[in-house]
Amino acid sequence: MSESSPPNPTLDEAFIAGVRRLLEEGRREELARQLADLHPSDVADLLDDFSTDEKVALFSALEADDAADVLVETDAETREDIIESVQPEKLRTTLAELEPDEAADVIGELEPDEAADALAGLEDRDEIEQLLEYPPDTAGGLMTTEFVTLPAGATTREAIEQARGASETTHRNYLYVTDADSRPIGRLPIEKLVFSSPDTPVGDLMETDVHPVPTDMDREQVAEIARRYDLLAVPVVDPGTGTVQGIITVDDILDAAGEEAAEDMYRMAGTGATDPLHQPVWKRALLRLPWVLVTLLLGFLAGQVIRWLGFDPGAKHALLLFVPVMIAMAGSVSLQSSTIMVRGLATGDLRPYRTGAILWHEVAVAALLGLVCGTISGLVAYAFFGGEVGFAVAVAFSMFCGIITAATLGTIVPISCHAVGVDPALASGPFVTSLNDIMGVLIYLGLGAQLLHLFD
Amino acid sequence: MSESSPPNPTLDEAFIAGVRRLLEEGRREELARQLADLHPSDVADLLDDFSTDEKVALFSALEADDAADVLVETDAETREDIIESVQPEKLRTTLAELEPDEAADVIGELEPDEAADALAGLEDRDEIEQLLEYPPDTAGGLMTTEFVTLPAGATTREAIEQARGASETTHRNYLYVTDADSRPIGRLPIEKLVFSSPDTPVGDLMETDVHPVPTDMDREQVAEIARRYDLLAVPVVDPGTGTVQGIITVDDILDAAGEEAAEDMYRMAGTGATDPLHQPVWKRALLRLPWVLVTLLLGFLAGQVIRWLGFDPGAKHALLLFVPVMIAMAGSVSLQSSTIMVRGLATGDLRPYRTGAILWHEVAVAALLGLVCGTISGLVAYAFFGGEVGFAVAVAFSMFCGIITAATLGTIVPISCHAVGVDPALASGPFVTSLNDIMGVLIYLGLGAQLLHLFD
């Protein structure tokens, strides 16, 4: 975890302002030139800072091959924005530039009828359709079909000829040696070709630890195999016949490993999304809601347990019965917020100048969650614990305020820690959770007692 | 997240039993042969299943070069066991086989006087000492010094000669082109050498997006750069002069990215260790204790807040004042346990047949934490909330039981989910936390009320 400059120093506010000016003044050629100088990943990242219309305008300014490279690197939200709003002709020319596995990734995210339209015009249609059969988080969904296979009897010279003849985008760090049934039996690091005499059979040079994985293996396990055996590529085979179907390259494995780790963190925190920073507010709230409701339900049960056990305080003290649910809710919502922040800061996805917008979005999400949970809590309080309107309103309103406070703390603490050079993960775990406990109790009981007093 | 077989299918219970038999019967040569057939990562993993004495015996049976490869792949605990107990002569011959950056990683973990002894006999001593200056989680700590640099004017033929002459362990997927001041100005993927005529200057073939990183950059950011720009290696430069000091290869980046993600998860859960599955029980408890104590302290404050706000129930109802701390403690301890399980299952580190031992260890850790926190809680209850022995004992004992229950649930739920094919991360986040809330309240108030009754 580091506190120094972000990995893409060119993408600062000044640069973004410059791009915006060119866009507003309609200087498309200059714009295309400036964007072509950036790495496609950086252009994809840049798009995040613009509105949907601007995204589409920027994307349309790119040449077809640049546009294709950029589209592959975009996050889910930006990609959806572009695909839905760009001219169909531009989308077609862009898709035609993609490798089959990349095209499958993009088309896999479209609605069925859009996908059919997009596929119609493409040369590699059959191959793409076959790749679309594999779930995106399996070896089959991750593999590329552009690689080189050789029989064991081929010579070094023949291997070089075949690798040279392959397309530009073909993976050539390893060439794969297969048997008569197309099963991978060896891998040939390309440097071995450089250092060997032209007539050596590749069977004599190859390494035999190929570690093939079946098409249905989960990408997390594929990453573990590449990591364990220090591989630059892993061949993917049919689980039945063992014939080679494609290969997964280490750059895609590095991406997949990062996404899997993020997914585990997000799931543990119950954020319900793999890419929560790039979703609209209402969708983020909706994805988080189920987990929050589980917490709410079990929190009510805890309150009910207190009564079953014979602790039944009257009047004002009935507020105490909702302390467990309040603490659980504050902990749950703040863990969601802080997990999203910690992960965003770790991957550089959450850039410092976006802090304001991000805090605002988190508070908005929390307000939606608070509205739902506050209302439910009020109704439960009315029905089960009193039947008094004042009590119900006190519970509902203080729950609403407690949830917003929890989300705000869960967002601000990691960002502040990052700003002063403390690891956000270290500071925002048990500390934020516990801080929320006490804030939650303070707000809930303090506000609740005041409101009860008002309604008396 | 997958539920199919672990990535190293050879390492099953039958294989381990076979190794143990060979070891007990003293058939060292057969043993060495069997282990030499495995990948060093698999041997390192296998060592986990043996006692310290057995580990040392197995390690000593390996040839020096195999032993070196295995030592690099061991986890912290196994490495410490081996280094502390193996014959000094065996350690020396093993270290002599390592690359300088690997030797630095191993020696960096030794006590100062052991490190001095280990360094004394080594050929690359100066280089290793220099590498030891860099913190292990920075670019400098991650880099290898075995790579090839060329001037831009060198021809393809000269580049091939130089790469061919380098040692076996030298990284050769990219050769680096440097300027007159040793600053990296280009990278040359080795396949370009294969496909070019012998007299082409490498300056004409090189890619200019080298993305150099300073020696003090955090490894998380290095991983982000490799991921973003799809690089097989990243050159590391002096932050002042920009001269190239080493390179980081993608296999080390993949390892580092995994460790960073795990570190963030563990830190958020407050487990206080980067490798908690491979630590002795007392150490795991000690590392988790600070975060548990923070929770405890803030939980007490929450109880005090309830009193400040004028909620001051008498006698039996005073137990309610400790509900917040009980919920917070259960949540905190169970999040620690479930995070360790989720991560261990995700990386394949936690193999199914070890489940029994792991559950037992987690319960033992929780018992230690529960003993400390229960005692503190009892004292606090005695001093501040009553001055009655019965009340203090009721608080202390129910806190102890609640913490053990929380750790048990936090361990069992992820393992059970994994066994039936449900993603442990998904199930063990908000669900386990909330389940613990209600169990915590039930155990604490139920047991507490009974005990209070007993002392009356």
Lowest mean pLDDT across A211-220, A221-230, B63-72, B344-353: B344-353
Q: How far does the CA of residue B202 sit from the closest CA of chain A (Å)?
A: 15
pLDDT band, residue A108 (cuts 50/70/90)? confident
Separation of alpha carbons B160 and B154, rounded Å: 10
Q: Which residues contact A340 (CB under 8 A, 6 or more apart)?
A: A266, A269, A271, A276, A277, A362
Domain count for chain A? 3
Separation of alpha carbons A352 and A356, rounded Å: 9
Residue A103 domain flag: no
Residue range(s) defining the domain that contains residue B279: 270-455
Same domain, B80 and B167: no
Alpha helices in B176-280 (DSSP H): 190-194, 202-205, 219-229, 250-269
Q: Which amino acid is at B158?
A: E
CATH code (residue B20): 1.10.220
Note the pLDDT of residue A337.
Answer: 85
Residue A301 domain flag: yes
Kindly tell me if the per-residue pLDDT of A403 is higher than 50: yes
Distance between the two ends of chain B, CA-based, in angstroms? Answer: 53
Same domain, A364 and A284: yes
The 3-state DSSP class for residue A80 equals helix
Separation of alpha carbons A322 and A334, rounded Å: 18
Same domain, B306 and B429: yes
Residue A117 domain flag: no
- Higher confidence at residue B275 or residue A167? A167
Residue B260 domain flag: no
Same domain, A447 and A347: yes
Q: Is A18 on the interface with B (CB under 8 A)?
A: no
CATH code (residue B227): 3.10.580.10
| Interhelix angle B112-120/B88-97, nearest 10 degrees | 70
Work out the average pLDDT over A224-244.
94
Same domain, A237 and A364: no
Contact (CB, 8 A) for A317 and A394:
no
The 3-state DSSP class for residue B273 equals coil
Note the pLDDT of residue A407.
Answer: 87
Q: Is B315 on the interface with A (CB under 8 A)?
A: no
Residue A121 domain flag: no
Same domain, B386 and B297: yes
Q: How far does the CA of residue A61 sit from the closest CA of chain B (Å)?
A: 22
Q: Is A132 on the interface with B (CB under 8 A)?
A: no
Same domain, A299 and A199: no
Q: Do A221 and B2 touch (CB under 8 A)?
A: yes
Note the pLDDT of residue A238.
Answer: 96
DSSP secondary structure code for residue A178 in this structure: E
Q: Is B269 on the interface with A (CB under 8 A)?
A: yes
Same domain, A305 and A359: yes
Kindly tell me if the per-residue pLDDT of A274 is higher than 80: no
Residue A344 domain flag: yes
Same domain, B225 and B285: no
The 3-state DSSP class for residue A246 equals strand
Q: How far is CA A66 from the centre of its chain?
A: 23
Q: Which amino acid is at B449?
A: A
Residue A118 domain flag: no
A426 neighbourhood in chain B, CB within 8 Å: 267
Q: For all residues of chain A together, what is the average pLDDT?
A: 83
Compute the Cα dihedral for B428, B433, B438, B442 and give only its sign.
positive
Contact (CB, 8 A) for B403 and B329:
yes
Q: Do B253 and A254 touch (CB under 8 A)?
A: yes
Closest partner residue to A224 (CB to CB) among B348, B426, B430 is: B348
Work out the average pLDDT over A252-260.
89
Long-range contacts of the stretch B82-89 (C-beta < 8 A, 24+): B82/B47, B82/B55, B82/B56, B83/B109, B83/B110, B83/B114, B85/B52, B85/B53, B85/B55, B85/B56, B86/B56, B86/B59, B86/B60, B87/B60, B88/B117
Same domain, B345 and B415: yes
Q: How many CB atoms lie within 10 A of CB B443?
A: 21
Q: Which residue, A249, A279, A314, sits at the end of a domain?
A: A249
Q: Which residue, B97, B132, B162, sits at the end of a domain?
A: B97
> Between the CA atoms of A299, A303, A309 and A314, what dihedral angle is there, to the nearest 10 degrees?
170
Residue A449 domain flag: yes
Same domain, B276 and B205: no
Q: Is A441 on the interface with B (CB under 8 A)?
A: yes
Kindly tell me if the per-residue pLDDT of B5 is higher than 60: no
Same domain, B57 and B185: no
CATH code (residue B341): 1.10.357.20
Separation of alpha carbons B114 and B107, rounded Å: 8
pLDDT tens-digit profile of A312-336?
Answer: 655 556 777 778 788 878 888 888 8
